[in-house]
Amino acid sequence: MTVKIIERIDMDAENKKGIGLATLVAIIVSGAIGGGVFNLSNDLATNASPGGVVISWIVIGFGILMLVLSLNHLVVNKPELSGVSDYARAGFGNMVGFISGWGYWLSAWAGNIAFAVLMMTSVDYFFPGVFQAKNGSLTILSVIVVSIVSWGLTLLVMRGVEGAAAINAIVLVAKLIPLFVFVIAGIVTFKAGVFSAHFWQNFVANTNADGVIKSLTWSNMTGGDLFSQVKGSLMVMIWVFVGIEGAAMMGDRAKRKSDAGKASILGLIALLVIYILLSLLPFGFMSQQELANTGQPGLVHILNAMVGGWGGSLMAIGLVISLLGAWLSWTMLPVEATQQLSEQKLLPSWFGKLNDKGAPKNSLLLTQLIVQIFLIVTYFVADAYNVFVYLCTAVIMICYALVGLYLFKLGIQEKKTSNIIIGFIAAAFQILALYYSGWQFVWLSLILYAVGFILYALGKKEYGTKMSTAELIATFILTVLGILAVFGVYGNWLGLQDALGIDGNTLLVAVVPLIVVTFIVYFVVRSDINKKGIKN
């Protein structure tokens, strides 16, 4: 998962003339490599053969390129707007801007939970079975540990600590050294015969019910199977690009405006090369079946197999440090979204209140309470890491689609064909990827959107405006769909339990305390509004 927080990397060395092209590219690449890349190999092997992975990278790379080009254009030509949700608001109104901003908030803290799960699976490498159950859920001990860490990081951020230069340097070294060692080991142990043995055939698609592999011939590798491999890889690959918008936002630090766009493209190319190496080299060392069964985090177990225990330990320690650093930065990220919504008068001012350290204390506490609820849920959810990866990715893709649609709209207004094409492709890619891979998670997220709509209505009250008829209708429809999602999971409608990896009882573990928190926040915010003399 990439780190949008690269915008706040310490810039003490930066002079007033701005940052040059090479430095910009380095900042983008180093800040963009997050925890998701450490589990990339076995996640992809679960769904695709080496050939399928190559095709998937081409498809995803092109789609992300269109998103980056869209963001680059908006950063340069709409400098008065401040990010993804602001583009949605400017293009389609307050309600859509709120949906984008609330989705960004939801995606960010869901990503933090994925960080938490991946961190404990790394620790579990040293103490097998103690921190992660065989089905991929966290143990009670793990839930306690990550809860303490999560609250600790929240308190640090509330005290104004969110990413000092020393922390950034340690995290950078901790994640790059193990990845460099992995690439070298992957090249040394690479066997062309292993890599090409079943280059196009997907092991999963070519096994029978007993897991016994069928005859692997080209006849088994149909166009439909290739499409299934790409579809199965979409969410995993997009996950490692979540936060790529941070690269475009570096534009205001560039020495020349043209450097910002070039750096984004060069940074994207560099990231693609790194991700492709990390995801394909293991196919030259292990079969797809072996890779798919390595366990989490994939690179830890693969490097252990390549060079021995010291390699696995190096990767696991590096990953834990990297995740802690990223988690610290990402603790601030979701509350930046709610703070911005408050400043735009799309949420009550309660969310934007700062403490004496300049941290949005109310947003931090609310977000942490919801994170705590879902950290407990990781005890009940099989394959908890992928559940929250998919939730994070699916919701952020809505925000990205709105960026493309905004550029598409501007292109029509300005009669600029290039913007129409780029915006359309960027939006269409995100929408189609959602349709084929993540619509169930979007449906599930509507439960949390229902909470947001209550707060959106309170904001309208505070600022003396009323929801339009269109907003009321949209709120009603989406809230009803959110309620239906609860029943849908509980009753396994449309195979939701299998798709989401959770059952009805597990969902209730989250929904019941979520309702309690919602009521508490509602009355606290309402009381805050009434103290200002704003009555019904």
pLDDT tens across the length of the chain (536 residues): 444 444 444 444 444 456 777 777 777 777 677 788 898 988 898 888 899 999 999 999 999 999 999 998 898 888 888 788 999 999 999 999 999 999 999 999 999 999 999 999 999 999 999 999 888 899 999 999 999 999 999 998 888 765 555 666 677 788 889 999 999 999 999 998 888 887 876 544 444 444 444 444 333 444 457 888 898 899 999 999 887 776 665 555 667 766 777 888 888 898 999 999 999 999 999 988 889 888 889 999 999 999 999 999 999 999 998 888 888 878 888 888 898 899 999 999 999 999 888 888 999 999 999 999 999 999 998 888 988 999 999 999 999 999 999 999 999 999 999 999 999 999 999 999 999 888 889 998 999 999 999 999 999 999 989 999 999 999 999 999 999 988 888 888 877 787 777 877 788 788 888 888 888 999 999 998 888 765 55
**Token digits for 22?**
């090479």
Q: State how far the Cα of 361 lies from the Cα of 350, in Å rounded to an integer.
A: 9
**Burial class of 160 by CB neighbour count within 10 A (0 to 12, 13 to 18, 19+):** exposed
- Determine contact, residues 166/193, Cβ cutoff 8 Å: no
**CB of 82 within 8 A of CB of 7?**
no
- The four Cα atoms 369, 370, 371, 372 give a dihedral, to 10 degrees, of 50
| Domain range summary for the chain, segments of one domain joined by + | 4-531
Q: Nearest Cα to 111, choosing from 123, 103, 100, 99?
A: 103
CA atoms in the 13 A half-sphere facing the CB of 528: 19
CATH of 4-531, one of 3.20.20.80, 1.20.1740.10, 3.30.450.40, 3.40.50.300: 1.20.1740.10
How many C-beta atoms lie closer than 10 Å to residue 353's C-beta? 15
Residue (of 37, 103, 95) closest to 282 by Cα position: 37
Whole-model pTM: value is: 0.88
CA distance 507 to 484: 13
In whole angstroms, give the CA distance from residue 53 to residue 95: 38
DSSP 78-116: -TTS-SHHHHHHHHH-HHHHHHHHHHHHHHHHHHHHHHH
The CA-to-CA distance between both ends of the chain, in Å, stands at 44
What are the structure tokens assigned to 371, written together? 């994170």
